[in-house]
């Protein structure tokens, strides 16, 4: 079973920020939080990952709570092309042992 | 960013034939490669983990004699579905992980396998 829980679906208006939550209450000290997204009929695309500090790259920002039991992926200005299933995964520091849950289906609406 | 190429992207074949799928890491050395399967409207399920030069480790319920995995080099792993049947029809996805810890897996674009 996946070690994370996410809402099954979310909507976001185009141009607005999309905030996708993830709970990982049983995360251990050496486990990272990874975010991927999957557009229909493609392989998962890596977005971002972090351990305890907030992270930002050209795609998104990752906010991890101080107790590390939850995190939020932020797409600052969602576009229609961001419509996808977003997966939050906690894994050891070797980036292996990924267990995919059902993810969150994000629909960006015009 | 890291690139993983998977080939073919789509294959249709008759029941009983064997199908080979290739997974290549194009710009990094992959010490570990993973093979996943995804049925329609479901999430990815890990089938097996392969380390370069050693035998693959299969997840519970995955038949190692049916899904042959070879990881002969640091840039190439292959999955052969032997004597494929319609129930093997699925979306097969590989991923690759480099030599550095805490780095993400990078995924190929998947192979859609349809067995008639």
Is B112 in Cβ contact with A94 (below 8 Å)? no
Q: If interface means Cβ-Cβ distance under 8 Å, which residues of chain A face chain B?
A: 32, 34, 36, 41-46, 49, 51, 87, 93-96, 98-103
* Segment A5-22, tens digit of pLDDT: 999 999 999 999 999 999
Nearest residue of A to residue B108, measured between CA atoms: A43
Beta carbons within 8 Å of B57's beta carbon, 6+ residues apart: B48, B49, B50
* Rounded Cα distance, A51 and B89, in Å: 37
Q: How far is B17 from chain A (nearest CA, A)?
A: 24
- CA quadruple B53, B55, B60, B64: dihedral sign: positive
Asked if omega into B18 is within 30° of 0 (cis), the reply is no
* Rounded Cα distance, A60 and A53, in Å: 14
Q: Looking at residue A5, what DSSP letter applies?
A: B
Spans of chain A below 70 pLDDT: 1-2, 93-95
Is A34 in Cβ contact with B6 (below 8 Å)? no
Q: How many A/B residue pairs have CB atoms within 8 Å?
A: 60
Give me the residue from B46, B109, B112 closest to A98, CB to CB: B46
Considering only CB atoms, which chain B residues are within 8 Å of A73? none
Residue B87 three-state SS: helix
Other C-beta atoms closer than 10 Å to the C-beta of B39 total: 11
Residue A50 three-state SS: strand
Nearest residue of B to residue A104, measured between CA atoms: B43
Query: What string of pLDDT tens digits covers the 116 residues of chain B?
Result: 678 999 999 999 999 999 999 999 998 888 899 999 999 989 999 999 998 888 899 999 999 999 999 988 889 999 999 999 999 999 999 999 887 766 789 999 999 999 99
Q: How far is B108 from chain A (nearest CA, A)?
A: 6
Residue B28 in tokens: 């990094």
* Rounded Cα distance, A5 and B58, in Å: 25
């Amino acid at each position: 079973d996946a070690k994370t829980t996410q809402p099954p679906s979310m909507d976001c208006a185009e141009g607005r920020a999309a905030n996708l939550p993830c709970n990982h209450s049983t995360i251990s000290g050496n486990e990272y939080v990874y975010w991927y997204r999957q557009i229909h009929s493609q392989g998962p695309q890596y977005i971002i990952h972090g351990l305890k500090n907030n992270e930002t790259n050209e795609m998104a920002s990752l906010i991890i709570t101080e107790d590390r039991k939850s995190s939020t992926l932020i797409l600052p200005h969602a576009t229609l092309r961001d419509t996808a299933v977003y997966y939050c995964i906690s894994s050891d520091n070797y980036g292996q042992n990924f267990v995919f849950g059902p993810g969150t289906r994000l629909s960006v609406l015009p | 960013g890291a690139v993983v190429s998977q080939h073919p992207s789509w294959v249709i074949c008759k029941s009983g034939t064997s199908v080979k799928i290739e997974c290549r890491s194009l710009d990094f050395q992959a010490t570990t490669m993973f093979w996943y399967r995804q049925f329609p409207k479901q999430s990815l399920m890990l089938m097996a983990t392969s380390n370069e030069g050693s035998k693959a480790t299969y997840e519970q319920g995955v038949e190692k004699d049916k899904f042959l995995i070879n990881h002969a080099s640091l840039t190439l792993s292959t999955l052969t579905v032997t004597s494929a049947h319609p129930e093997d029809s699925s979306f097969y996805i590989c991923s690759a992980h480099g030599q550095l810890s805490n780095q993400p897996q990078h995924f190929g674009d998947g192979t859609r396998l349809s067995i008639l």
